[in-house]
């Protein structure tokens, strides 16, 4: 039974322009699913839809999001927010902007526990200290009292990871959690997220456009193009032999591990034309209601 189940999800701009086209994907407890695709494919949009933070211009116009079997759309806005806050968490992309600059770090880790989940403050603080140790932060006491601007980007991302795991969520969505960091720090953070996810048995939806990262962290992956699922498979099968022509081209366009400086083939024009045609045909079917 998946903890997160997205079924036939459609998100459109107010003017009707589709951003997500009948997207379905599942993440089981303990599973890491990578969500890949080019910039603008709608990867972040899926995460935002699940977490109830779609931009004002976008609307959820079809499909279901089940969190632990519960259809989020049937809840009131208030209940939905609370449910999401209790069961899911976000590791954001940019640690420099995701912490409130005028609040100390400690309360930003404990606030959800105290305000949403009703913990006693001393318990929440004890938990925060444990978490900071878990994400390998030295002298957590001091860090709890610090303001974000006193800490490095890597430190702040560790804090955001600790904060995401604080309430033992069953699902974490990480939206390109390392792209804003230095290359050396990227590796550490990636390792840390993997380590935390395994220890806590969390379902993880890992958004990235970097296929190199996928093989290191995920078991399954979903390839997205123009808001449509192009391929849905296991990481093993994908790297052995991607089934879709677009996926093949995407893989060819990724620097090889073994040869990071090696020549890259950009996704060929013909493949783009083909996948565009596929999306158009898909839209046509959806409109006619003949899609199975």
Ligand X SMILES: Nc1ncnc2c1ncn2[C@@H]1O[C@H](COP(=O)(O)OP(=O)(O)OP(=O)(O)O)[C@@H](O)[C@H]1O
Q: Which of residues 41-60 bind Mg ion (CB under 5 A)?
A: 44
Binding of another protein at residue 102 (CB under 8 A)?
yes
Write 219-223 long-range contacts (CB < 8 A, 24+): 219/31, 219/32, 219/33, 220/31, 220/32, 220/33, 220/34, 221/33, 221/34, 221/35, 221/36, 222/25, 222/33, 222/34, 222/35, 222/36, 223/36, 223/37, 223/247, 223/250
Binding of Mg ion at residue 110 (CB under 5 A)?
no
Q: Which is nearer to another protein, 172 or 211 (CB)?
A: 172
Q: Which of residues 185-224 bind another protein (CB under 8 A)?
A: none
Tell me which residues touch ligand X (CB under 6 A). 13, 19, 37, 39-45, 55, 57, 209
Q: Which is nearer to another protein, 51 or 60 (CB)?
A: 51
Binding of another protein at residue 150 (CB under 8 A)?
yes
Residue 23 interacts, among Mg ion, another protein, ligand X, none and using kind-specific CB cut-offs from 5 to 8 Å, with none
Q: Which of residues 13-52 bind another protein (CB under 8 A)?
A: 51-52
Distance of closest approach, residue 177 Cβ to another protein, in angstroms: 13
Residue 209 interacts, among ligand X, Mg ion, another protein, none and using kind-specific CB cut-offs from 5 to 8 Å, with ligand X
Residue 212 interacts, among Mg ion, another protein, ligand X, none and using kind-specific CB cut-offs from 5 to 8 Å, with none
Residue 82 interacts, among Mg ion, another protein, ligand X, none and using kind-specific CB cut-offs from 5 to 8 Å, with another protein
């Amino acid at each position: 039974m998946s903890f997160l189940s997205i079924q036939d999800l459609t998100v459109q701009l107010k003017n009707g322009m589709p951003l997500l086209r009948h997207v379905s994907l599942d993440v089981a407890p303990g599973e890491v699913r990578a969500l890949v695709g080019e910039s603008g494919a709608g990867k972040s949009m899926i995460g935002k839809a699940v977490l109830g933070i779609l931009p004002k211009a976008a609307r959820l116009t079809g499909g279901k999001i089940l969190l632990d079997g519960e259809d989020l759309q049937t809840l009131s806005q208030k209940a939905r927010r609370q449910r999401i806050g209790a069961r899911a968490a976000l590791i954001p992309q940019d640690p420099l902007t995701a912490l409130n600059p005028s609040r100390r770090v400690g309360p930003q880790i404990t606030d959800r526990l105290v305000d949403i989940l009703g913990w006693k403050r001393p318990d929440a603080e004890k938990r925060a200290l444990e978490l900071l140790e878990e994400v390998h932060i030295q002298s957590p006491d001091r860090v709890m009292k610090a303001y974000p601007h006193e800490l490095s980007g890597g430190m702040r991302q560790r804090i955001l990871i600790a904060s995401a795991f604080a309430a033992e969520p069953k699902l974490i969505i990480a939206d390109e959690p390392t792209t804003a960091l230095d290359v050396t720090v990227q590796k550490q953070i990636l390792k840390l997220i993997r380590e935390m996810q395994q220890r806590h048995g969390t379902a993880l939806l890992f958004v990235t456009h970097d296929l190199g990262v996928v093989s290191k962290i995920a078991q399954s992956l979903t390839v997205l193009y123009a808001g449509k699922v192009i391929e849905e498979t296991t990481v093993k099968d994908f790297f052995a032999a991607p089934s879709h022509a677009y996926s093949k081209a995407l893989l060819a366009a990724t620097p090889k591990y073994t040869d990071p400086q090696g020549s890259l083939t950009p996704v060929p024009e013909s493949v783009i034309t083909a996948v565009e045609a596929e999306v158009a045909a898909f839209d046509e079917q959806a409109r006619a209601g003949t899609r199975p």
